[in-house]
Structure formats: C-alpha cells, structure tokens
Structure 1
C-alpha cells in the first residue's frame, strides 16, 4: 500500500463554541481559535477538525445548517474563516471542515421553499410522504426522541427527520441535491480547506418506507460519486462518521484507491460500556477483554487494505480519563496510559480539545446546568417514565455530551481564561488544577506526554506501517501489543487498572530502547504499577 501524506499526521478536534472566546460574549469563536494556533503548533498537531461553524439556528449545536457557504455570526465571519485557514497553513496546519450532508436545518432556504408547495422546484430536495394528520407513515423514531415524521398542514404531507424536528433529511435520490452539495464542497476546497469530516454520512441512502436509515442500498454509489466529483480533485483528508460500520464496510469506505474516504469513524469500541440492546444511558462496567479484542479486530482487518481513525473522545463522548481511566488519584497516570495505548496503534489519531490536558467529566448539581438537547430530552423522558432521578443523573454524569463541551481550561483565571463574559455553559470547577498553562510548565504533564507521542509518530515509521499483534489477549488488567515491520519491532504495554499487575512481558522488553514511560522510576521486576504504561522499540 503506497503511503499517503496524511498517514503520519495527528488531528486535533475543536468544538468552537467551547474553545476560546475572543469578544466576551461567552461563546468561543474563530478569532479565539486563531489566537491559540501557536499553542496547537507547539503541541505538534497537523490538522484541526472544526465542529460545525456554518450558519445555523443552533438547534443541535450547529449540526443543523441553514447556509453551507456562510459562517454563523456567533463564530465570526467568512473573512475570519479565510484568515484561520491562511494562518493555520503558515504553521503547517490544515483545517478540516465538519459537513452535515444527511440533513439541513428547517431554516435553510431549500426547506423554506420546499414547504411552499408540492410543485416547488425545491420540494423534492427533502423526503416527503402524503398522509393524514395523526396517522404517521410508519412507526420510525427520531434519534432525539419522538416520531421521525413531522406533519405540515399546508401540504397535507409529512417530512422525514432522523434527528431533531428542525433537521429535515435531504433526499439524496434527487441528483439536483447531490449537485448542489458537490458545488458547495468545491467552493470550500477553493477556499483552501484541507479536508472534511462527514457527519452521519452512512445515513444518506435512507429508505424510510422500508425502515432503512443506515447503510442503504445506494450508499456506496452515492459516496463514490461524491468523492469523484469533489475530494479526488484535491489532496484532502476525508473522514466519514459511520456508526454502522463493520470492518468489511470500512474497507470500502477507506479503500487505498481513494474512491471514497481517507478513513472512517467507527464506534464499536465506544459502545461497549452500555447494556447490550439498550441506550447509551444504560450503563455497564467496561468489558476490558472485549475492548482489546475489538480494537485488535479493526487493526488486523484493515491492515494493508483500509485505514483506521483512532479516538477515545469527541464532542459527543464523555472524557476518556473519567470514563475508562481514573480521574481522581491517578488522573495524569491513567490519561497518559490511555494516550499510549491509542497512539501506538495504526491509524490517524484524533485528539479532542482538552484531552491533552487530561480534562475530566463535569458533575453539575441538577439538570438546569445542562445544555445538550439529547441530555435534556432523556432526562424529561425518563422522569416521565418514573425512573429514579439519582439514577438518571448518574447516567448523565457518565455519558452526557456536555462532559466534552465545558469550556477549554486555559489557565487559573476566572472562567479558566476561556471568556471575559459569562460562558454559555459553566466551566468545570477543577480548572484551577487542570489547565493548559500549568500543563505546559510541567515537563512531566499529560500535555508533554501527548507532545512526545505526536513527535514519535512522525519520527518512527513503525507507528504507521507496523503489523499489529495483540498479546495477553485474555488478561483482565493488561493491554499489550506489538507492531512489527521487516526492520523493527515495537511493544506497547499498559496496566488498565488501579491495581498492580503481573507482567512477564517486561522481562523480555525491559532491556530494549524505551520510547515513553509514565512513571519516573523503573518498575519492579515483572510488575506493573497502577495505570503504568511504556512503549519499547527493538531496532
């Protein structure tokens, strides 16, 4: 497989609303991001994935776009965006835009036209069904609760929405819709963006009459056409969000021939700590052995014929150090361990803002402090069903998307240096202990550990090219694996628990060159301390 330019790169995800506010209105913005580019350059990242900044009524935090070719005023202007692209490029950082192509906002001009009449040229840009008020076309549910169909009295029709009622699904069967999308993407490519992340892209070939949303029959046909008409005209990083991906599907999505995407986000590993067949709020302890085998499966099956994205966190997921690490006495140790395990694998690592500081989940006292539509809807639904409020809040503390959305913790000043105004969502109170200023000053910090991992990936081709082999696969405490090329072998060893663990592997590897270690002193013979991790290389 010919190496692509982006395969040794590291992407940093920014949730703009929570990153840095430049004008004191309590909401992060593009000028705030521009002001922090030197911080990101110092960390060593190569690309910034921006969560949506296009114009939007913000019903779902920007994932409801009303104009794909403008910037929402809360984030700034199109000129600010052009400046961000340019200033990032000067630091060898690409900008990856987040595009929502499955649905638009109901305030998009296409939908405003579509509602006017069945004969309107834009009507067929969306998915409609004739009907009678109160008699739904079928019993499909929307992801954010309630039915997936909304009645429009003036048309005597229902429109389909997989998410919020304010997010009508686009009709990809209509070639005019596809052409509009391609022209918009080409326009952004001309502006100099370095790539795109495609939101819920595996939903675009839906067939709602058959109850099909993900992985519809024409999905890969649509994606190949999209790629041919747009991405293949540039040298981009493209990543599709595909909740329903299997390794077989991912081989199509990330085929090295570039016919679809560079890579996909698949989410099998992040669903392991929920009760099978239930919602993400129904918690269960992480089945650790299952996690190892799952990650190993993706490493093995895509080797040489596809490409993995590597992530623990994003804007929709809780903070990994609180989720699968230990955010109390071993916060820094476990944050480093989780980083080493992830960055040692083959694929493109994604760092979510604050992950490199070991930022944690937040515990707000009651539901009024939460802003996320999904969290608030779940609370309301479960309270109405008679769930115990303490249990509901326990699920929210563990899994709410707002865990990832509290403001970036820059320093010890008021509001963690995020804003001079009132933040749109409260800052995690632990910002006085956990912040970028402290982390940068401390050479043994989580930040400097991430910085080193990023550098090692660029300096050692084994990170991108080595074959993966899981070791001690049934061990309940240790995550260990090797990466092997013709010339070198690397071994990642990690204790995933807060207890000591017996590790015979250490005897074999302790004489080799050590690339990283999250303890200052050598381990006892054959024993790993809580959350201890190291990466060895045999050249």
Structure 2
C-alpha cells in the first residue's frame, strides 16, 4: 500500500468516516451455557475475533427482556436484559472489555413498537380511560361494521408480517395497531408522554456507557394523521390489505421527532456516539435530510433499495435474478445524493437479509472469489461499512430442506398464508432464497458437531457446510475471505481516499462489471468488480496501465492492457494513480 500524502490526512471529519461496524445477532453468535442460545458471556469470549478483524464498533441486535415473539424485537422491558442472554452485569463486563480494547458498543433501539407484554401496553389495554390508553394506537371498528368481523378494521393497512395491521381487543371492543406482529403494538409518538419516556430510557443507556443506537424502523414513528385523529386507508386491491408504509413511513412529524430526540438525549454528549437509523422505504431525498449534520437528526441511514432489487412482485419470497445495472444505478444514486450533505451506511448482510454470497454471488463454485469481490466493491464506496456476523467468513444461506427447520415469524406466517396456493416444494424454494433465517444460523467457529457455537442443541440448525466454512479454517488460510476483510478494514482506517474521496460511477450499462473511481486531491482509485463466472474485459480509459495495485482478491497480478483491464471469474481489483487538475 502506498503511503498517504500528508495533505490527504483526515482533518475534522467525524470519527465514523474512518470506522467499520460489526453487527452481532446475539442469539446465534456464541453460547456458553449449553442451552443452544447465544449469550453475552459468549460475545465476551469472542471479543478477540473482533479485535483481530480490526473493527471499531460492535452493534448488538436486541438483548432486552422480551417474550421473543420476533426474536427480541418485541421488548417488554427496555432497561433489563433477557435471561436468555444474561444479565446487566454481563453487559457491563462486555462494555468494559470492548472499551479497554478501543471498541465502541451500539445498542439496537426498538421504539416504533413494544411487546404487548410491556407494562405500558398492559396498562393501555386495561380500559378505554386508562391514562396510558393513548400511548398506543387504539381505534374503533370501521363505521357501520361489527367489531371483530373481516373488513371491520379501522383502516385497510396490512402488517409487514402478513394479514391486517389491526388486532381486535374483545375486552375493550377496540382495535390496536401493529405494523409487525400482533404482539408488537405500535407506540403513539404523537403523545409527548411517550416521547419523554423513550428519551429517559435512551439517556439511561448512555449513562450506563453505551456509545449510540441503531434505531429500528425509525422512519415509521410518525404516522399520517388527519385533523380529527383518523388514519387514512391506503391503495389496495379489492379484499386485500395495503402496504402500511404508504401512510406510516417518513410521516409529517418524523424530522420534528428526531430533532427533539437529539436535543433531549444527545446534546452535550455527542462526542464519540453513533446514531444510525433503519429506514425502509426512504428515498435519497429523505436520506439527505435525515443525515445532514446541520439538521441534527441521524449520522447515517440504512436504505433497502439495493437489497430489494432481486424481489419480484410478490416481495422477498419472490426472488428474481439481479440485474447488475440496477444495482449500480441504485447505489450510485445514493452516493451522488449524499455527497454534499449526509452519509451512507454501507451493507450487504444483516439479520433480516439472506446471505449476500448466495444472493448476488456464487456460493458453490466461486464462494471465496464472489464473497471477496462483493466485499471489495461495497467497502470501497463512500460511507461507513457494516459487517454482519459470519459475512467475514463467507457464510452462505441455510440450505434448509424442511419447513420444520425454519424459526422466523415472517417466514412461517408467509408460508401459512401461501399453503393453499403453493406446493411444499415451492414453499421451500421461496424460503431458501428469501427467509431471514438464512442470516440467523449459528456462527461457524470450527468443524465440530455444532460448529463450536454450543455444546447443546442450537435454537436453529447449524449450516451443514460448517465442516469446511468456519472461522478456524478461514484464519488458517492467508487467502481466505476473513483475511481479505481484515485488509479492507485496515484500508478504511488508513486511506483518506477510501474514507472521503468523491465517487464517480463508470460503465453504467455494463451487465457484468461494477466500476467506479474514488478521487481526493490528486489521488484516484479505480474499483472494478466482476459479477460473473466468465472472464470479462473492462474498458476503463487511458492512464491505468502503470497504476499500483491497492487490493485484489486474486494472488496473481491483474492484467491491464492500455485502456482495458481483464478480469477473471468474480475478480475485484482496486488500482491507484496520481491525476492532475
């Protein structure tokens, strides 16, 4: 790697422009007590893995007390740890160990909804005149309809998990809103008491030492509400429920709520905190507003456009082949849109997405090559990269062969709804490609019976390919996916062009090669990635023949010839040159 000129050293850029975040799904990371469920002591046991990888921030998916209807995203107590994961003292020990090693800890903040077992909802449900009734969205049946009958719901909103977004409460005769599971009632952010309670809880965690929040579906907290408090119907086919995001995403008070949160929670202590929002359905325009530092809302957002490009009309379980030109156009639009104000969160995998090497790569013949190519292409964009557990090992989709192996509530509810239309073989094919459980199989630490994850029976089956794909094997191979990720993390730390360089998309119409440049001052990087098993030639223009190689996923040299670069199967290369002007 070439030394970085002094004039390109970072100035007053936020620390997270040089950082890489690692996401842990605690249930599937490391179990220490043999119950088959990952826990906080297990994360502590594997801290050295994170240190060796070189990441800066650990983001934990929810570990709060929960009935686990949606694997912890249904919270019954925001200020306690679920016994399945350990105790508050275990978390304190983990925090101390991370901070001693220079790592930060970010908690998952789930405040669009709670569990229906949260004391707030228990009170709210107890009577129509309870002081907390208005903490949630309660509405009577549609006018002229008998409560509890089909079509009597207050609106035609559908749940993201299938079926109506309203559940009838027989005791009080009204319906409550749940955009997700019926056990995840939506909080009413229009009520200032709700907001104050949430802010108090957030301050409590910051006082305990956590370093920020990843905010779950945060752009759903402001619903479109009429002057009389009514919620509108949304477009839908006859007899079906409509997508609730039309009236629940990026609502009219979203920016007001986030700016208030910033004043009430973060002012005076921003320092090294990280605030990232999960924002389904958000456009580039919304993203720019949400992440413009002058607006004091969020540092960066997770968008869903690029991980929805292989979805057909039927959604995530209707998987179609990716058109690379769509991917380039989508990511390029976000790079351009947030270039002057705002910041991108870069990711392929997370707990809700099938494994990227199985989606956009080749997880059989070219697993290592396609996994490393995808890593290089993503990490060389402008933004903060996120690595999801196992991604750095090249872990693949689950390859389950029976419906009984699935655990994800979204997958199971979809399969139940489609049983009359699809055969079991068709259902399995759809789930194999689209289920969230693909990301939730235990981390593959070694080639022993349960991949080193547990001594007991895991809560979800270990991927059978753990005998060859595991951390021990990856660590022992200097050319592995793991060591490529280590080099990418180090490159993000060291290279100002990677951190802050301008992004320019090349070859937008090439169906197989992803190409772009990053430029800062007179330093320029050329990034090329082949999304194909067949050899490709990229027409990159003059001036790259004598460029130096920054990083690549093949051990032998890249072939350059004048204006052309020849790429092997799933090859990625990053070249550096000096430019004038």
TM-score range, shorter chain: over 0.9
**TM-score normalized by the length of structure 2:** 0.91
Shift in Å, 1:138 = 2.0
| Alignment match of 1:40 (pick from 42, 46, 50) | 50
Kept in 1: contact 2:558–2:573 (CA 8 A): no
What's 1:412 paired with? 447
What's 2:552 paired with? 517
CA-atom RMSD in angstroms = 1.4
Deviations, residues 465-504 of structure 1 (Å, cap 9, x unaligned): 1000111111111111000011311111111111101123
What's 1:245 paired with? 282
What does 1:499-538 correspond to in 2, within 5 Å? 499-505=534-540, 508-525=543-560, 526-538=565-577
What's 1:90 paired with? 100
Kept in 1: contact 2:155–2:232 (CA 8 A): no
Aligned length: 537
SS of equivalent residue, structure 1 residue 321 = helix
Shift in Å, 1:460 = 0.6
SS of equivalent residue, structure 2 residue 521 = coil
Structure-1 separation of matches of 2:148 and 2:349 = 42
Deviations, residues 41-98 of structure 1 (Å, cap 9, x unaligned): 1100000110000110000010000000000000000111111111111111111100
SS of equivalent residue, structure 2 residue 365 = coil
Shift in Å, 1:258 = 5.7
What does 1:295-310 correspond to in 2, within 5 Å? 295-310=331-346
Q: Does 1:117 pair with 2:153?
A: no
Kept in 2: contact 1:15–1:353 (CA 8 A): yes
**Greater CA drift, 27-36 or 2-11:** 2-11
Shift in Å, 1:524 = 4.2
Kept in 1: contact 2:353–2:435 (CA 8 A): yes
Shift in Å, 1:395 = 1.4
What does 1:95-110 correspond to in 2, within 5 Å? 95-110=105-120
Deviations, residues 281-317 of structure 1 (Å, cap 9, x unaligned): 1121101111111111111110120000000000000
Structure-2 separation of matches of 1:215 and 1:202 = 5
Hey, which bits of structure 1, 4+ residues long, moved more than 4 A? none
What's 1:326 paired with? 362
Shift in Å, 1:522 = 2.1
Q: Does 1:198 pair with 2:206?
A: no
What's 1:345 paired with? 381
| Alignment match of 2:91 (pick from 81, 105, 111) | 81
Shift in Å, 1:2 = 4.8
Q: 1:292 to 1:349 in 2, by over 3 A?
A: same
**TM-score normalized by the length of structure 1:** 0.97
Structure-1 separation of matches of 2:24 and 2:295 = 26
Task: Note the residue ranges of structure 2 that are not aligned, 5 or more in a row.
Answer: 1-10, 142-146, 226-230, 234-246
Q: 1:393 to 1:506 in 2, by over 3 A?
A: farther
SS of equivalent residue, structure 2 residue 315 = coil
Structure-2 separation of matches of 1:308 and 1:230 = 23
Q: 1:425 to 1:510 in 2, by over 3 A?
A: farther
Kept in 2: contact 1:96–1:194 (CA 8 A): yes
Q: Does 1:59 pair with 2:69?
A: yes
Structure-1 separation of matches of 2:449 and 2:427 = 31
What's 2:7 paired with? none
What's 2:306 paired with? 269
Kept in 2: contact 1:232–1:258 (CA 8 A): no
